[in-house]
Amino acid sequence: MSSRRLPSGDGALIQIVDAALADASRRSGDWLVCRPGCTQCCVGAFAINQLDAVRLQKGLSDLKEKDPQRARRVRERARASVERLSPDFPGDVKTGVLDEGAEAEERFAEFANDEPCPVLDPETGLCELYESRPMTCRTFGPPVQSEGGLGVCELCFHGASDEQIAACEMVADPDDLESTLLRKLEKTKGPRGWTLVAFCLQ
């Protein structure tokens, strides 16, 4: 596992994103049905950047100090996931870094859509590393702008109009602090590029 440290501004980034989530959740009210134990967004492989990876690794290291058995179970699930994913992994299996380019993106779109996140506790339906979760997880649920327009979780905003959905939009990182921190991190020794939760925790 990596021994890289998070850049000093990561705590500020988390505060900004979590505050944006709290604000969007308040505006969304009952349309936002995300609750502990709802795991739809925890199934299906998704790409994370190296900032997310280092944050998760630190979270697992902290969990190992507090609860070694839980940390061991997370690591075991991650290793089992890597074993299942490796034969068709659209990237470098040794580093866990995904290939780039249009063809690689196409392969990834059809890849591991039924694979549960190894950090998800299958018994409780809760995230074992919730405080260290990736940005994708922190911004899932409320309406978020993407290349395809304003995206929302398919379980949320039933009965809401386009205007009502737009009024709840979450702007997670308005100054793009994440990109600045990622560039800083990727200047240090270690993998670069996108990876998966399982590969960074095995």
Classify residue 115: in a domain, yes or no: yes
Classify residue 132: in a domain, yes or no: yes
Classify residue 180: in a domain, yes or no: yes
- List all residues 6 or more positions away from 130 whose beta carbon is below 8 Å from its beta carbon: none
Give the residue numbers spanning the domain of 153.
10-201
Classify residue 124: in a domain, yes or no: yes
What pLDDT does residue 151 have? 83
| Helix and strand element counts for the chain (H, E) | 8, 4
What pLDDT does residue 2 have? 59
Residues 9, 181 contacting (CB under 8 angstroms)? yes
What pLDDT does residue 146 have? 75
Classify residue 164: in a domain, yes or no: yes
Q: What's the Cα-to-Cα distance from 141 to each of 47, 52, 110, 150, 189, rounded to whole Å?
A: 17, 19, 22, 11, 34
Q: Which residues pair with 98 in a beta bridge?
A: 91
Classify residue 152: in a domain, yes or no: yes
* H helix or E strand, kind and range, residue 92: strand 91-92
pLDDT digits (tens, 9 = 90+) for 26-76: 999 999 998 888 898 999 999 999 999 999 999 999 999 999 999 999 999
Sign of CA dihedral 100, 133, 41, 171: negative
pLDDT string in tens for the chain (202-residue length): 556 899 999 999 999 999 999 999 999 999 999 888 889 899 999 999 999 999 999 999 999 999 999 999 999 999 999 999 999 999 999 999 999 999 988 999 889 999 999 999 999 999 999 999 999 999 988 998 877 778 888 899 999 999 999 999 999 999 999 999 999 999 988 899 999 999 999 9
Q: What is the DSSP string of 167-192?
A: TT-----TT-HHHHHHHHHTTSSS--
Classify residue 3: in a domain, yes or no: no
pTM as predicted: 0.92
What pLDDT does residue 149 have? 78
Classify residue 2: in a domain, yes or no: no
The tally of domains found in the chain comes to 1
